[in-house]
Chains A and B, each alone.
Chain A
Amino acid sequence: MAFTDHCDLYGAVREAGVNRVISHIMTQRPSLFNYATTAVAHDAELWCQPVPHTPDVTNHGNPLFTIVNPLPVLGADAPPVGLNFCAQLTKAEIDFSPGNTIPLPQALNPPLADQHFSLLLRLCGGIECPTQDAINQVPPGGQLSDQRSSTAVPVKEIVLQGRLDCFCLDVIAIGHIQRQMLGAVPSLLAQVDEMDVVGVEPVGLEENMVCYLKTTVNVVLREKLTIAIEKLMLSFSLFGLSTVTLATTPNPPIPNNPAVEDDQVKAFMTMTSV
Chain B
Amino acid sequence: MSDITLAASANAFEQIFTNIVQNFTYSKSDTASFGPFSASYAIALHLQDGTLTLNNDNTIDVSDLEIVFDTLTVDVCFTLPGWCVGGFCVVPDPWNGCLVPFPGFCIGAFSICPTIDLSGLVSEVTEFDAGLRVNYYVDPARLPGWSDLDAELHGHPNKWQIFINPTLVDINPIDVPATVANILENAVKNAIDSAIPSWVPGWAVDLLWDIIGPILNLIVDLLGIVGDIADWLESLLDDSFNILSFIETAITDYFAGQYPIYEFEDPYPVLEATPTLIPVKIPIRDLTATVDSQEMVVLANVGA
- Seen from chain A, the residues whose Cβ lies within 8 Å of a Cβ on chain B are 2-5, 7-14, 16-17, 20-21, 24-25, 28-29, 31, 55-57, 59-60, 62, 224-225, 227, 231, 233-238, 241, 243-244, 264, 271, 273
* Nearest 9 pairs of A and B residues by beta carbon: A17-B3, A3-B7, A4-B9, A2-B294, A17-B302, A10-B7, A20-B302, A8-B12, A28-B280
Distance (whole angstroms) from the CB of B214 to the closest CB of chain A: 54
Q: Tell whether B281 is near chain A: CB-to-CB under 8 Å.
A: yes
Flag if A21 contacts B8 (CB, 8 Å): no
Knowing A21-B282, A237-B262, the reply to whether A4 touches B7 (Cβ < 8 A) is: yes
Distance (whole angstroms) from the CB of A9 to the closest CB of chain B: 6
Can you offer 30 A-B residue contacts whose CB atoms are under 8 A? A2-B7, A2-B292, A2-B294, A2-B295, A3-B297, A4-B9, A8-B9, A8-B12, A9-B7, A9-B8, A11-B5, A11-B6, A12-B4, A13-B3, A17-B3, A20-B282, A20-B304, A24-B270, A24-B280, A25-B280, A28-B281, A59-B147, A227-B270, A233-B6, A234-B6, A237-B263, A243-B18, A244-B15, A271-B12, A273-B15
B4 / chain A contacts, CB cutoff of 8 Å:
11-14, 17, 234
Distance (whole angstroms) from the CB of B144 to the closest CB of chain A: 16
B141 / chain A contacts, CB cutoff of 8 Å:
none
A20 / chain B contacts, CB cutoff of 8 Å:
3, 282, 302-304
CA distance A251 to B300 in the complex (A): 28
Flag if B277 contacts A8 (CB, 8 Å): no
Flag if A234 contacts B264 (CB, 8 Å): yes
Distance (whole angstroms) from the CB of A22 to the closest CB of chain B: 10
B301 / chain A contacts, CB cutoff of 8 Å:
17
Q: Tell whether B271 is near chain A: CB-to-CB under 8 Å.
A: yes
Flag if A236 contacts B147 (CB, 8 Å): no
Chain A, Cβ-Cβ closest to B277: A62
Flag if A3 contacts B262 (CB, 8 Å): no
A235 / chain B contacts, CB cutoff of 8 Å:
264, 268
Knowing A20-B303, A56-B147, A236-B6, the reply to whether A14 touches B15 (Cβ < 8 A) is: no
Flag if B149 contacts A56 (CB, 8 Å): yes
Chain B, Cβ-Cβ closest to A13: B4
CA distance A55 to B145 in the complex (A): 13
Which of A2, A231, A241 contacts B19, CB < 8 Å? A241
Using A3-B297, A60-B149, A273-B15 as known contacts, list a sample of 6 further A-B pairs with CB atoms less than 8 Å apart, ordered by residue number in A. A2-B7, A12-B6, A24-B270, A28-B278, A224-B271, A237-B16
Distance (whole angstroms) from the CB of B157 to the closest CB of chain A: 13
- Seen from chain B, the residues whose Cβ lies within 8 Å of a Cβ on chain A are 1-9, 11-12, 15-16, 18-19, 147, 149, 261-264, 268, 270-271, 276-284, 292, 294-295, 297, 300-304
CA distance A28 to B277 in the complex (A): 9
CA distance A227 to B277 in the complex (A): 18
A12, A235, A237: residue with the most chain B Cβ atoms closer than 10 Å: A237
Distance (whole angstroms) from the CB of B155 to the closest CB of chain A: 16
Knowing A4-B295, A62-B278, A237-B261, the reply to whether A12 touches B5 (Cβ < 8 A) is: yes
CA distance A3 to B292 in the complex (A): 11
Flag if A4 contacts B280 (CB, 8 Å): no
Flag if B271 contacts A25 (CB, 8 Å): yes
Chain A, Cβ-Cβ closest to B10: A4
CA distance A271 to B9 in the complex (A): 10
B278 / chain A contacts, CB cutoff of 8 Å:
28-29, 56-57, 60, 62
Flag if A243 contacts B282 (CB, 8 Å): no
Flag if B302 contacts A21 (CB, 8 Å): yes
A238 / chain B contacts, CB cutoff of 8 Å:
8, 12, 15-16
B281 / chain A contacts, CB cutoff of 8 Å:
24, 28
A273 / chain B contacts, CB cutoff of 8 Å:
15
CA distance A244 to B268 in the complex (A): 24
Flag if A236 contacts B8 (CB, 8 Å): yes
CA distance A5 to B261 in the complex (A): 21
B292 / chain A contacts, CB cutoff of 8 Å:
2
Flag if A16 contacts B3 (CB, 8 Å): yes
Distance (whole angstroms) from the CB of A225 to the closest CB of chain B: 8
CA distance A7 to B12 in the complex (A): 10
Knowing A4-B295, A28-B280, the reply to whether A236 touches B262 (Cβ < 8 A) is: yes
Distance (whole angstroms) from the CB of A257 to the closest CB of chain B: 14
